[in-house]
């Protein structure tokens, strides 16, 4: 019914969607991208990391600041390059940030879920020890766009993986700075002050999967990792849709 009132459109190019991909019983996802954009997205996913030369899904490179915070692994779907001529990743990121695009969020969460399952297998993690959390957006941004894309991604990812989603990190209320306009050092300093542990949620003894939509400097994710570890998390792994390849501090 909703699709009749709001015909489904491609999250990247805006073209009307007239195809429905195969949906499985466990993950009934509807298309977020048209066939052409989906193909482009798949190609972007196949790109190799400029630092370790591995395909992005096997790459474990992370900003140094994240490594220093003792993040155990950093999983991303794509590397982000602002200079690139409008690839699908840029558009889909923009789309989930500005609009409440549930199909795009569902699609990206399903893509991220593959990394989560690979991690569980590779590290032999106990599912009952796992929780998913996220790095909350500023209150101002939440009001402006009516959504917190990191929270929605985390909720969907938890749903797809059958894991609990808990809010372990909160934003300091009076912090309204716009990260985007700030210098690298200033962003790191701000991130230090922006996040706090949640008052009544414990992640003690848990392996926490920290979700963010886009990791640029890594300052926010690093701060989040520190908070979770101080709160007693056994291990913290970060998950993002995209990571900024031009981050000068990325290490293997």
Stretch that binds Zn ion, among 61-69, 97-105, 158-166, 179-187 (CB under 5 A): 61-69
Interface with Zn ion, residue 251, by CB under 5 A: no
| Smallest separation, CB 33 to Zn ion (Å) | 5
Lookup result for tokens 């886009």? 214
**How large is the C-alpha radius of gyration of the chain?**
18
CA angle 26, 151, 83 (to 5 degrees): 100
31 lies in the site for Zn ion, by CB under 5 A: no
For residues 188 and 216, what is the distance between their CA atoms, to the nearest angstrom? 11
Shortest distance, CB of residue 144 to Zn ion, whole angstroms? 26
Contacts with Zn ion, 149-178, as mask; x by CB under 5 A: ------------------------------
Q: Which is nearer to Zn ion, 51 or 182 (CB)?
A: 51
Stretch that binds Zn ion, among 60-68, 143-151, 161-169, 226-234 (CB under 5 A): 60-68
Stretch that binds Zn ion, among 58-66, 69-77, 178-186, 190-198 (CB under 5 A): 58-66
The dihedrals phi and psi of 100, each to the nearest 5 degrees, come to: -85, 75
Strands ordered across the beta sheet of 235-244: 73-80, 235-244, 207-215, 130-134
Per-residue 3-state assignment (H helix, E strand, C coil) for 213-239 = EEECCCHHHHHHHHHHHHCCCCEEEEE
Distance CA 154, CA 213 (A): 9
How far, CA to CA in Å, does 35 sit from each of 38, 79, 188? 5, 21, 39
**What is the DSSP secondary structure assignment for residue 126, as one 8-state letter?**
-
CB distance 220 to 144 below 8 Å: no
Pick the stretch among 13-21, 40-48, 137-145, 175-183 that binds Zn ion (CB under 5 A). 13-21
Question: Pick from 10, 163, 219, 238: which binds Zn ion (CB under 5 A)?
Answer: 10
Q: Is 231 in the site for Zn ion (CB under 5 A)?
A: no
Q: Does 49 bind Zn ion (CB under 5 A)?
A: yes
Residue from 13, 125, 231, 251 touching Zn ion (CB under 5 A): that is: 13
143, 108 in Cβ contact below 8 A?
no
32 binds Zn ion (CB under 5 A): no
How far is residue 22's CA from residue 141's CA, in Å, rounded to a whole number?
35
Q: Does 125 bind Zn ion (CB under 5 A)?
A: no
Residue 97 or 170 with smaller CB distance to Zn ion: 97
Is 116 an interacting residue with respect to Zn ion (CB under 5 A)? no
Interface with Zn ion by CB under 5 A: which residues?
10, 12-13, 15, 34, 37, 49, 51-52, 59, 61
């Amino acid at each position: 019914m909703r699709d009749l009132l709001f015909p489904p459109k491609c999250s990247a190019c805006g073209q009307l969607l007239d195809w429905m991909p195969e949906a499985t019983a466990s993950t009934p996802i509807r298309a977020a991208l048209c066939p052409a954009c989906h193909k482009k997205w798949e190609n972007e996913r196949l790109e190799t990391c400029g630092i370790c030369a591995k395909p992005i899904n096997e790459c474990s490179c992370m900003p140094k600041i994240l490594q220093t915070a003792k993040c155990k692994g950093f999983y991303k779907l794509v590397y982000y390059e602002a200079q690139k001529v409008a690839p699908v990743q840029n558009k889909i990121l923009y789309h989930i940030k500005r609009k409440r695009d549930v199909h795009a969020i569902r699609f990206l969460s399903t893509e991220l879920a593959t990394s989560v399952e690979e991690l569980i297998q590779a590290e032999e993690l106990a599912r009952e020890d796992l929780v998913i959390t996220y790095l909350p957006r500023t209150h101002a941004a939440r009001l402006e766009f009516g959504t917190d894309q990191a929270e929605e991604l985390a909720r969907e990812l938890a749903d797809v993986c059958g894991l609990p989603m808990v809010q372990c990190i909160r934003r300091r209320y009076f912090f309204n700075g716009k990260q985007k306009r700030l210098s690298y050092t200033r962003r790191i300093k701000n991130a230090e002050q922006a996040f706090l542990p949640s008052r009544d949620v414990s992640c003690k003894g848990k392996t926490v999967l920290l979700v963010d939509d886009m990791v640029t400097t890594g300052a926010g994710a690093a701060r989040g990792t520190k908070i979770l570890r101080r709160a007693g998390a056994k291990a913290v792994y970060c998950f993002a849709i995209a990571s900024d390849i031009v981050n000068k501090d990325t290490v293997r």
